[in-house]
Homo-oligomer: A and B are copies of this chain.
Amino acid sequence: MMAAEKSGGRIPTIKDVAKAAGVSQATVSYVLNNLNKVSPEVDAHVRRVAHELGYSRNRAARALKTGRNNVIGCIMPSLLSPVFPEIAQAVQQRAEEHGFATFVIDSGLQTAAREAEAIRVLADHGVDGAIAVLGSPRPASDRPTLPLVVVDQPMDGMDAVYADHREGGRLLAEYAVGLGHRRVGLLSGLQGLYSSRERREGFVEAARGRLDIAWNVEVPLVPSLPQEAVDALRRGDVSLVVCVNDLIAMLALSALRQARVRVPEDVSVMGFDDMQWSSWPLLNLTTVRQPLGRLGRDAVDLLVRRLDAPDAEITNIILPVSLIERGST
């Protein structure tokens, strides 16, 4: 009742507020942008009138003028894996602290084309920048015109933040040796992905001469194991299975369960990521933790910095990882 109605149901503009308050549009604009250019009494009055009218600034118009939308994008290859939502959540929270809203986009798994598309859509829809977990090595520089912070891998000419995957692989190997394992199997990720490659190489390097890698199956990102992997697990010729990430570890646990192989009595399993569920008793997964929250937060900080200073020098942030011992080993 008190609000709206005044101008015949139309949505109020700055002009309406100005008229109602008996000042100019500029004054209203100054007030609402918190530039303290106006006297306290006028300020208060304008604010009251604006509130009474239920006025809110039109984003399109202000974006048009300022070239800023205060929206950032967050491109994730999937929301179905639990890892990415954890990052996305951190991104969103930090972005909000900076006054940005977050636009989460699921770019899907068939990397190259859809990622470029996602970037294009974001740019078309006027976001200020984006943080992205990319599958493809290069971001199809078709439209380089969108400030991007890459997460989970370094990339030429771009800000990036990622965990020390190689060190994580090393930690897993050291721990396995310490536990007295000798023959191990690897469920590695697609070697086209930086993180998968690094993790595997870190492990293999540290394992050299101390662990026998009986087999090594490359598992794609889809949430099911290839038959080859299932066969390998069934073979029972290793005392430890090292997985490129917790999701695959979970699939491995599933497959082992189905094959009636006990964990950790018959075989041990290790993962990577320490996603939220890994600590649950049902999984209870020994794993390498990468600080997913910090990954997202640091990425946002980096992006905001870049938006403020487009010519700042490129920054790479490498985050530490740590081994989490649980019941699967």
Chain A residues with a Cβ under 8 A of chain B:
11, 54, 56-61, 63-64, 69-71, 79-80, 82, 85-86, 88-89, 92, 101-106, 121-126, 143, 145, 223, 250-251, 253-255, 257-258, 276-277, 280-283
B contact residues around A70 at 8 Å (CB): 125
Complex: how many Å from CA A319 to CA B196?
41
Q: Are B71 and A89 in contact (CB under 8 A)?
A: no
Query: Chain B: which residue is nearest A117 at the CB level?
Result: B96
Q: Are A79 and B69 in contact (CB under 8 A)?
A: no
Q: Are A125 and B71 in contact (CB under 8 A)?
A: yes
Complex: how many Å from CA A79 to CA B251?
21
Q: Are A92 and B64 in contact (CB under 8 A)?
A: no
B contact residues around A280 at 8 Å (CB): 250-251, 254
Query: Chain B: which residue is nearest A88 at the CB level?
Result: B79
Q: Which of B61, B223, B282 has a CB less than 8 Å from the CB of A64?
A: B61
B contact residues around A254 at 8 Å (CB): 280-283
Complex: how many Å from CA A85 to CA B71?
21
Question: Knowing A82-B80, A106-B88 touch, does A250 contact B282 (C-beta < 8 A)?
Answer: yes
Q: Are B80 and A86 in contact (CB under 8 A)?
A: yes
